[in-house]
Amino acid sequence: MYAITGGGTGGHLTIARALKNEIVSRGGKVVFIGSTNGQDREWFENDSDFIEKIFLPSYGVTNQKGWKKVQSVANILKLAFSLNPLFEKYRFQGVISVGGYSSAPASIFSIFKRIPLYIHEQNASIGKFNRVMRFFAKEFFSSYLESSKVRDYPIPNIFFETRRVRKKIEKVIFLGGSQGAKFINDFAIRVAPELHKRGIEIIHQTGKGDFERMKTAYSKIEIEAHLIDFHPKLSQYIAQSDLAISRSGASTLWELSANGLPALFIPYPFANNHQWFNAKFIHDKGLGWVYSQNEIRPDHLFQILDEDLEEKSRKLMEIIKPDGAKKIVDIIVSQTAPS
């Protein structure tokens, strides 16, 4: 019996789902402990794989100041100890945290109850809470740390199944995430005429809120592009592409890497700039490009279009292997199985 805790945003919740699926596939039982804020309810309220779902009124601490920060810490401690009946009921073998503010109460209470705590950190720049909690964790999993026992990021197998080596750029994909990214959308319009001139096809994930505006924008410059707002099978469009222009959220970054798709990253410049450090991890290995929104110019992309991507593509596929979730759960189960 395990508790999975954390969330708030899709990056955290994607890992929660991957680990839950792996545990359940082995006949294990899982409880989810999340927050009434963020996307936790939207993702898991109707997920029958969990034997119980708890949503607490938790909220972030690091973005608070002064007295509000004190109140936030007090709220987390109060919520942590409110979990005692749940912990007594299920006698968890382990608590698995995927980060985010909604992971705080259950993570803290697991330490109080001396239940093994396992943490998966999605980003290259470790969040403030996880920086503290990693010293109490039985295992701390990160794809960026050599000390991590598992460095393979849990992503769907479809990205491995459709991987291929890219060489010449014939099709590019612009990725802004499910909510879209106005900056990337506008950048796409700026570079579209040159891409069209070179005979390069365009796939563009616009986000739901910007689809109509982008449809009009492409029409005005008389360029045909394949526009999608957000597609549940985005992997098929990634597999078709030869270069991505993308934000650098952790899941996206590792999905592109697994597929062998080189990327020009334009990180989301907020949330402690964590996307910059994700992209820098790839850039420092010589396997991609990264520019801030203040730096990026169309000619940065045009220079890439003339490159042979074969070496980058092959090496991207080497830095992540399949079955990340399986490998993590293997370790957790081996350390928590009843003697």
**CA distance readout (Å), 160 to 71, 110, 239:** 45, 35, 10
β-bridge pairing 52-56 and 30-35: parallel
Question: Which single residue is written with the structure tokens 């920060």?
Answer: 69
Which among 262, 316, 259, 313 has a CA at the least distance from the CA of 290?
Answer: 262
- Mean pLDDT on 243-265: 97
State the average pLDDT over residues 5-24: 93
Distances (CA, A) of 18 to 115, 175, 251, 328: 22, 22, 12, 10
| pLDDT at residue 60, as a whole number | 63
- Sorted by where each begins, the domain ranges of the chain are 2-155+322-336, 158-318
**CATH 3.40.190.10 is held by the domain 2-155+322-336:** no
Opening angle at CA 61, ends 82 and 47, nearest 5: 55
The distance from CA 98 to its chain's CA centroid, rounded to whole angstroms, is 11
Instruction: Say yes or no: do domains 2-155+322-336 and 158-318 share a fold.
Output: yes
What three-state secondary structure class fits 87?
Answer: helix
Contact between 124 and 282 under an 8 Å Cβ cutoff? The reply is: no
Q: What is the mean pLDDT of the chain?
A: 93
Determine the pLDDT at residue 37: 86
Burial bucket for residue 88 (CB in 10 Å: 0-12, 13-18, 19+): exposed
Beta strands across the sheet bearing 226-228 = 226-228, 201-205, 171-175, 243-246, 263-265, 289-290
Q: Are the beta carbons of 102 and 127 closer than 8 angstroms?
A: no
Q: Is the pLDDT of residue 141 over 80?
A: yes
What pLDDT does residue 69 have?
Answer: 61
For residue range 185-219, what is the model confidence (pLDDT) as tens digits?
Answer: 999 999 999 999 999 999 999 988 899 999 999 99
Per-residue pLDDT of 43-86, as tens digits, reads 999 999 999 999 998 766 656 566 666 677 788 999 999 999 99
Q: What pLDDT digit, counting tens, does each position of 235-253 carry?
A: 999 999 999 999 999 999 9
Q: Can you give the pLDDT at residue 261?
A: 98
CA atoms in the 13 A half-sphere facing the CB of 91:
2
Helix or strand holding residue 308 (H, E)? none
**E strands, 154-255, in order:** 171-175, 201-205, 226-228, 243-246
Residue with tokens 């008389």: 222
210-231 pLDDT tens trace: 999 999 999 999 999 999 987 7
pLDDT above 90: percentage of residues in the chain: 82
CB 235 within 8 A of CB 261: no
Domain spanning 158-318, CATH class: alpha beta
